[in-house]
Amino acid sequence: MSRWWRRPSVVRLASSVSVMAAVELVTGPPGSNAAPMAGVSGSFAEKVSFFGLFASPRWSVFLVYALVLYGVWSLWLHRGRQIRNAASVVLARPRNIAQRGTIRWSAAVVLVVVAALLPHFVSDPFWQTAMVEQIAVYVLLALGLNVVVGFAGLLDLGFVAFYAVGAYATAWVTGALPLPPLFGVHLNPFFAIPIAIALAMLAGVLLGTPTLRLRGDYLAIVTLGFGEIIFLFANNLNGITGGSAGTGQIPHFSIHLASIKYVWGLAPVPYYYLTLAFVVLFVIAFSLLEHSRIGRAWTAIREDEVAAESLGINPLKFKVMAFAIGAASAGFAGVVTAAQTNFVNPSVFTLYFSINILVLVIFGGMGSISGAVLGAIVIQTVSMYLIHTPPAGYQPQDLYIYLGALLIVMMIFRPSGLLPSKRRRREIGLAEAGEGHMDEVLTGDTP
């Protein structure tokens, strides 16, 4: 702690400056949507490099942004500072666990850096597109479904519905649907993000409130039905959704804020970075959520709903919340897909899609954020590989045979998933030892 560069305020300032530097690099004259990495890859001699930035007055704006970011961040932390307390004494974690935490964080940082550099090493356009459309978007979806299935323990077979809501909401507010947008204003998809997320969450609440009183299999059937309803709506409401043809006029993302100007074009790489940024945000938000009141309440409900309720936890409220939060990330994935491909049509939003996402979560390890991310990356990469370089005799419809086999092998050798969460692993261990009481009937005298 004595080293000045490790002091929290210094770390915060450095992070703020580097985040804004990265933003400036890809948004100004040095970078452009044709060459998003020009600011980094250009030589020093040319003015397109990072150092070219200081030759223009833009650097002062950049500094202001960085300081604003630093200020907001510090203020956020400052309120509620007196929170070092006796708890830290009792909860002082054994050294090896604390070290494991550090290792996890370092691993996460390394992964983000690798992910950020990846487009430099992947030049095949097929893979560049796949990285956005088939991997990054699926990571978002898996993260969202993990909240529902993993954290709250609710089997949702209609998760695709929220993805569809997000995509159609984007088409709607950008004016691409037959249904005119509110007040006739055609928004840029960037501003569709909050609207799509809000609408997806609303759909989650609307679906959840009446159905989450059901348990297990019944819930799965109802959500499955909900997915089909959304599909049928999208397919048949010609005057609103454009019917089975969908719509193909969704504009690309663009952003204009003082010196920050950027238009996401046809190239997949800028979309990749945008999605990556949101994946990081969702991962952080969901990790905090897992270890918050809400995450603990979910665990409590999952393990023993009767006991949880006796402590004053309203199971319905928390389940609806899980639905809404999961829906938010699916809604965002819908925005990215709609804006990147410029079109939506209902053929994507099928039961297969929901099951595919569920497979990612189960494969990665239910209830584990890193598991959901890794599961999505591994499975989607495998399926993309099979499409890109099919082995002899491989037919496109064979994909699910391969995935099914993979899943079976997985369930035999690692039933809790690739990277199971600590809590889930304990639960499975206890259930195997016959100690769990997950769905036990109320104890006590038989009536």
Partner 1 sequence: MSDDLIFSVKNVTLRFGGVVSLNDVSLEMRRGEILAVIGPNGAGKTSLFNSLTGVYQPQEGQILLSDGHGKTVSVIGRKAHRVSAMGVARTFQASRMFSALTTFENIKIGAESHKGIGILGAMLRGPRTRRGEHDSDARTIELLDFVGLRDKANVISSSLSYGDRRRLEIARGLATGPQVLLLDEPAAGTNPTEKLELTELIRKVRDVMGVSILLIEHDMKLVMSLAERLYVLNFGSVIAQGTPEEIRSNDAVIEAYLGSTTTTEGK
Binding stretches for partner 1 (CB under 8 A): 76, 79-80, 82-83, 85-87, 90-91, 93-94, 285-286, 288-289, 292-297, 299-300, 303-304, 306-315, 321, 324-325, 423-424, 426-427, 430, 435-437, 442-447
Alpha carbon separation from 135 to 120, 276, 346, 351, 375 (Å, rounded): 17, 10, 20, 19, 10
- Distance in Å, CB of 154 to partner 1, minimum: 17
Distance CA 303, CA 435 (A): 12
Q: How far apart are CA 416 and CA 430, in angstroms?
A: 13
Min separation Cβ 395 and partner 1, Å: 43
Minimum distance from residue 313 beta carbon to partner 1 (Å): 5
By C-beta, is 3 or 84 nearer to partner 1? 84
Amino acid residing at 26:
V
Instruction: List helix spans (H) across 237-350.
Output: 238-241, 268-290, 293-303, 305-310, 315-341
Q: How far is the CB of 284 from partner 1 (least distance, A)?
A: 8
112 within 8 A of 335, measured Cβ to Cβ: no
Rounded to a whole number of angstroms, the minimum distance from the CB of residue 76 to partner 1 is 7
> In whole angstroms, how close is the CB of 86 to partner 1 at the nearest point?
6
Number of other CB atoms surrounding residue 59 within 10 Å: 16
| Ordered DSSP codes for 180-199 | PPGGG----HHHHHHHHHHH
Q: Can you say how many angstroms the Cα of residue 44 is from the centroid of all Cα atoms in its chain?
A: 36
Rounded-to-integer distance, Cα 153 and Cα 318, Å: 11
Which tokens hold the place of 321? 């919340």
Residue nearer to partner 1 on the CB measure, 300 or 399? 300
Q: How many CB atoms lie within 10 A of CB 395?
A: 8
For the CB of residue 309, give the shortest distance to partner 1 in the complex, in Å: 4
Q: Which residue has the tokens 């070290």?
A: 99
Residue closer to partner 1, measured from CB, 244 or 314: 314
Question: 396 vs 434, which CB is nearer to partner 1?
Answer: 434
* Nearer CB in complex with partner 1: 356/416: 416
Angle (CA) 353 356 358, round 5°: 115
Residue type, 265: G
- Minimum Å gap between C-beta 440 and partner 1 is 8
Alpha-carbon distances, residue 277 vs 23, 116, 232, 284, 309 (angstroms) = 11, 9, 33, 11, 38
In the complex, least distance from residue 297 CB atom to partner 1, rounded to whole angstroms: 7
CB of 203 to partner 1, least distance (A): 16
The residues, any chain, with a CB within 8 Å of residue 104's CB and separated by 6 or more, are 370
Cβ distance to partner 1 smaller for residue 317 or 388: 317
- Rank residues 92 and 412 by Cβ distance to partner 1 and give the closer one: 92
- CB nearer to partner 1: give 6 or 81: 81
Min dist CB 204 to partner 1, Å, is 12
Nearer of residues 102 and 446 to partner 1, judged by Cβ: 446
Q: Which is nearer to partner 1, 286 or 353 (CB)?
A: 286
Query: What single-letter DSSP state applies at residue 348?
Result: G
- The partner residues of 263 in beta bridges, in order of sequence, read 254
324/373 with CB nearer partner 1:
324
DSSP string, 106-174: HHHHHHHHHHHHHHHH---HHHHHHIIIIIIHHHHHHHHHIIIIIIS----S-THHHHHHHHHHHHHHT
